[in-house]
Amino acid sequence: MTDVELRVEALSLSDVSAIPPEYVRLEEERTDLGDALEVARAASDDADAARIPVVDISAFDGDGRRACVEAVRAAAEEWGVMHIAGHGLPGDVLDRLRAAGEAFFALPIAEKEAYANDPAAGRLQGYGSKLAANASGKREWEDYLFHLVHPDHLADHSLWPANPPEYVPVSRDFGGRVRTLASKLLAILSLGLGLPEETLERRLRRHDQHGVDDDLLLQLKINCYPRCPRPDLAVGVEAHTDVSALSFILHNGVPGLQAHHAGTWVTARSEQGTIVVHVGDALEILTNGRYTSVLHRSLVSCDAVRVSWVVFCEPPPESVLLQPLPELLANGAGKPLFAPRTFKQHVQRKLFKKLKDQQDNNAAAASNGIIPK
């Protein structure tokens, strides 16, 4: 099978009426799947449906500072996800970013293959399609482009598309602006814990042995979810939490993101002028579970292509030890819920658990005479 045949876009363009079995989710997962457009429409029509909180963080710089901190704290604790308004990212910058990303995915597949990654060889950055690395052994209905976007001096620019020519400058500009936004949100979230505003960012950057600060790493992943003939059977991205500290998300206007809250899946609505922010595992560890790493997934549609831009804000992989903040455990306030680990160790543990779960499922299937697909 060639690389082109592996791409989900190629399957979508082939006008198949069915999808290959490796994309069909397990029966217990399919009970609440559906076309992203229809699911979003139903949620919009339901006046009683839960809604992801919307917080205007521009108030942090004015008289509404205390109320802003409280709103962000509540959203991070109770939901682990929020729509952020007043984020300071200019609309024209976001428009250029979307245009450049969509132009890349509009290129012929063979041209995009010049930037192909090779996860088996340890090259995770570049153009790719998500292969099975989960307990079910199922694939996700997406192609993507993934690379470091900040700090710029650490980025491998050979993985940044030369076509369209606007891609490099607009992505570099966007990365720098999101880095500034990350500092602001981490300050607000620190204050929400009753701690000095520099606390969370310092703990995400500080090399304890030498007292040296490494910068946060921002990884950009552009997800393209092609049209799917059976959105009731497939997902764009399966249910998961992000390993990052924070994740920043914008999209092309096509719905599909869902967050798990209070035992149900809540569809992210289109909130004009906002971006979505997720709390990730690294922040949940530092806050000893006060802030929730949100479980989320992405649905697909038979009528529309969804594109999303996700920036994962991560600590340096090996120089920072992630562990609950001592300030939150002082005076018997609580016991640590997480063992110390570097970010790299956390990612490896999470991947190992996925692989072990898949092996256990395969072994159970084999014992029942079932050949795992």
Asked whether residue 7 is assigned to any structural domain, the reply reads: no
Domain that includes residue 245, residue range? 26-366
Q: Given a cut of 70, is residue 208 above it in pLDDT? A: no
Comparing 198-207, 338-347, 363-372, the range with the smallest average pLDDT is: 363-372
Asked whether residue 13 is assigned to any structural domain, the reply reads: no
**CATH code, domain with 258:** 2.60.120.330
Cα angle value 274/277/282 (rounded, 5°):
165
Asked whether residue 14 is assigned to any structural domain, the reply reads: no
Average pLDDT of span 252-281: 97
Asked whether residue 12 is assigned to any structural domain, the reply reads: no
Q: Could you read off the pLDDT of 135-159 as tens digits, one per residue?
A: 677 999 999 999 999 999 999 999 9
Catalytic residues: 221, 240, 242, 296
Average pLDDT of span 181-200: 98
Average pLDDT of span 174-195: 98
Domain count along the chain: 1
Asked whether residue 221 is assigned to any structural domain, the reply reads: yes
Closest CA to 103 of 162, 156, 159: 162
Q: Could you read off the pLDDT of 48-95 as tens digits, one per residue?
A: 999 999 999 999 999 999 999 999 999 999 999 999 999 999 999 999
Per-residue CA distances from 280 to 42, 212, 236 (Å): 28, 24, 19
Asked whether residue 11 is assigned to any structural domain, the reply reads: no
Q: What is residue 133's predicted lDDT score, i.e. its pLDDT?
A: 56
Q: What is residue 115's predicted lDDT score, i.e. its pLDDT?
A: 96
Q: What is residue 355's predicted lDDT score, i.e. its pLDDT?
A: 58
Average pLDDT of span 160-182: 98
Asked whether residue 19 is assigned to any structural domain, the reply reads: no
Q: Could you read off the pLDDT of 321-337 as tens digits, one per residue?
A: 999 999 999 877 789 99
Asked whether residue 328 is assigned to any structural domain, the reply reads: yes
The distance of Cα 82 from the centroid of its chain, to the nearest Å, equals 13
Q: Output 345-353 pairs: Cβ under 8 A, ≥24 positions apart.
A: 346/243, 346/281, 346/282, 346/285, 346/322, 347/243, 347/317, 350/243, 350/281, 351/133
Q: Given a cut of 70, is residue 24 above it in pLDDT? A: yes
